[in-house]
Structure 1
Amino acid sequence: FGENPKRVYQDSKIKTRMNIAALLRNLLFKTKEYMEKKENGKDVPFNMQFEAMIPVLKKEMPLKCHAHRSDDILTAIRIGKEFDLDLTLDHVTDGAIIVDKIKESGYPCIVGPAFTHKSKYELKAKSFKTPKVMKENGILFSITTDSPVVPQEYLPICAALSVKEGLSEKDAIEAITLSPAKILKISDRVGSIKVGKDADLILCTSSLLDPQNEIKRVFIDGKPIN
């Protein structure tokens, strides 16, 4: 949603936010129609695009919604509710502005990257304070670097800067470990230290969020590799 598709597809019919929403809604509607015809045993021509979207309609795969501005976030929520989809709200730069609507939707948020310039108008509200607002309102969220926009090795620094803006250290670490695992629906395997989970661990000299922290030992599948 927003400026990215407008910029990339500016020479085609995708020129406005209204068109972007209409095209997505049309795709989902046609996919639903195609899927129902197949399930009812009707002979329909194979359509690769619709086939790719069927797992989204069946909630086997989330719809990943890139949305910075508040109106784009609300559009994503409306479409998600209209078609009863699982989706994630990615970036949610204006999330603090409409936090009540996001909480009401029940959709998880992937916040960031805030460690960049405000390179376009829709990023004017970008802030490391957003994770704290999400936590205070009981919204499941994680922090992202949007790698390679910001290299992924700076994820702990992004979390640390959120702590500087009021998020607790515990919640910041959870936002880059357990919370993303919950959003990805793999928290039964990874994201926290628990018997039976995949045991990939690191031993550090200080807090994971300390920029001077050094990793001294690495364990993969429970076995030391250094």
Structure 2
Amino acid sequence: MIAIKNVTAHTMAAPAVINQAVVLINDGKIIDLGTNIEIPEGTEVIDGEGGFLMPGIIDAHCHIGMWEDGIGFEGDDGNEMTNPVTPELRAVDAINPLDRAFEEALDAGITTVATGPGSANVIGGYFATLKTYGRSVDDMVINDATALKTAFGENPKRVYSGKKIAPNTRMATAAILRENLMKAKNYVEKQEAAKTDKDAKAPDFDMKLEALARVIRKEVMLKCHAHRADDIQTAIRIAKEFDINISLEHCTEGHLIPEYLKDEHIKAIIVGPSLSDRSKVELKNLTFETPKLLNEAGIKVAIMTDHPVIPLKYIHLCAALAAREGMEEEESLRAITIRAAEAIGEAHRVGSLEKGKDADMIIYNGHPFDLRNTVKFVMVNGEVVKNNL
């Protein structure tokens, strides 16, 4: 058993802040926390030296391990740009856990990530959620099918217009997605009919449709890359047509249409990367005010880096800049902890300091938004992986 004491705990739950907190950890889980916690005899005690304790940081949308740091083509495994429809692909088969970026992320207090294919394809493949500590993806993975990536806007049309095949337009992107969702819907209907009707023939196995069938059955969400307001609305339109669940990724112009973002089919909104230039037309309204404006409209958001677009280790800076533009400070922290956990369906085990959750936590020597402060302590699954206290 391990006890952490002499810290100010920012729980991302209730109560939000616990002064002079004590946290008890056993078998990789938080078993108790509060101000008057008795520490059992024989417990390993860690003095937090008055530091700022918080849950491990989470990035709900990045591509760590898919585009390996400083390698180039040999380590670029995020976009299979040979077919605009590749739902059968899985990030777990491309992630390199020895990518140096994992070590840097862990050192900066990022303990959980959702990583996966890029946005070259209309349907790109499955994202995975994993802890950042480990040497094998199979040991690190929490969920190997977090969500199925799809992309609207400039990226698919730019990639495939150069190959002289569809999509060359936003119309074609939407049509390709619709066509494949309809095929998957019919595939599922035939599978279900074959279970109850002895005369109904089950469809032949189809790997692409099996991957899409999970979206039709609402087992997973479509993770929708959409920057511009019209692309966001196209994603919502298709979600309604097929009665499927989606998350909005980037949502750069979401603050222009907040009234449309409360649709029941939208299960998460993940904003970013905002710490970048306006490198393409659909980023013309890029601003760090987006999280604040969505929050003011009653919409919860997570903040992402889109690593390697923004190095993962700077996610706390992205949250700090959102706070500088008016987002409430604690909510900015939640955007990279519990809101991110909710966005990827893992809030039951990570994202906050609560009894029964994974013992993933970090200690800063001061507030994370003061860039002079650093992460002094990192714990993942109850294991101390960094201790500079």
Pick the TM interval, shorter chain. Answer: over 0.9
Cα separation, 1, equivalents of 2:275 and 2:379: 29
Matched residue of 1:134: which SS? helix
Give the Å deviation of 1:222.
Answer: 3.1
Contact 2:273-2:306 at 8 Å conserved across structures: yes
Letter of the structure 2 residue corresponding to residue 102 of structure 1 = L
Give the Å deviation of 1:106.
Answer: 5.6
Q: Which moved more, 1:74-83 or 1:206-215?
A: 206-215
Partner of 1:191: 351
Cα separation, 1, equivalents of 2:192 and 2:265: 29
Matched residue of 2:255: which SS? coil
Contact 1:218-1:224 at 8 Å conserved across structures: yes
Gap change, CA 1:106 and 1:63, over 3 Å in 2? closer
Cα separation, 1, equivalents of 2:306 and 2:238: 24
Cα separation, 1, equivalents of 2:157 and 2:312: 27
Alignment of 1:56-75 (within 5 A): 56-75=215-234
Contact 2:236-2:265 at 8 Å conserved across structures: no
Give the Å deviation of 1:191.
Answer: 0.4
Q: Which moved more, 1:61-70 or 1:32-41?
A: 32-41
Partner of 1:178: 338
Number of matched pairs = 226
Contact 1:106-1:139 at 8 Å conserved across structures: no
Partner of 1:77: 236
Matched residue of 1:88: which SS? strand
Cα separation, 2, equivalents of 1:137 and 1:150: 27
Partner of 1:24: 177
Cα separation, 2, equivalents of 1:224 and 1:43: 51
Residue 9 in structure 1 maps to residue 169 in structure 2: no
Cα separation, 1, equivalents of 2:157 and 2:340: 29
Give the Å deviation of 1:208.
Answer: 1.8
Stretches of structure 2 that go unaligned for 5 or more consecutive residues are 1-151, 195-200
Gap change, CA 1:22 and 1:217, over 3 Å in 2? same
Deviations 1:21-76 (A, max 9, x none): 01101110111001111221123222111111011111111101000111100000
Contact 2:366-2:373 at 8 Å conserved across structures: yes
Give the Å deviation of 1:214.
Answer: 1.4
Higher helix proportion: 1
Matched residue of 1:96: which SS? helix
Residue 155 in structure 1 maps to residue 306 in structure 2: no
Deviations 1:77-101 (A, max 9, x none): 0101111111100001111111111
Partner of 2:192: 39
Contact 2:239-2:265 at 8 Å conserved across structures: no
Contact 2:227-2:251 at 8 Å conserved across structures: yes
Partner of 1:167: 327
Larger RCO (CA under 8 A, 6+ residues apart): 2
Contact 2:246-2:265 at 8 Å conserved across structures: no
Structure 1-normalised TM-score? 0.96
Deviations 1:178-200 (A, max 9, x none): 00111112111010001110011
Stretches of structure 1 that go unaligned for 5 or more consecutive residues are none
Say which one has the larger Rg: 2
Residue 224 in structure 1 maps to residue 384 in structure 2: yes
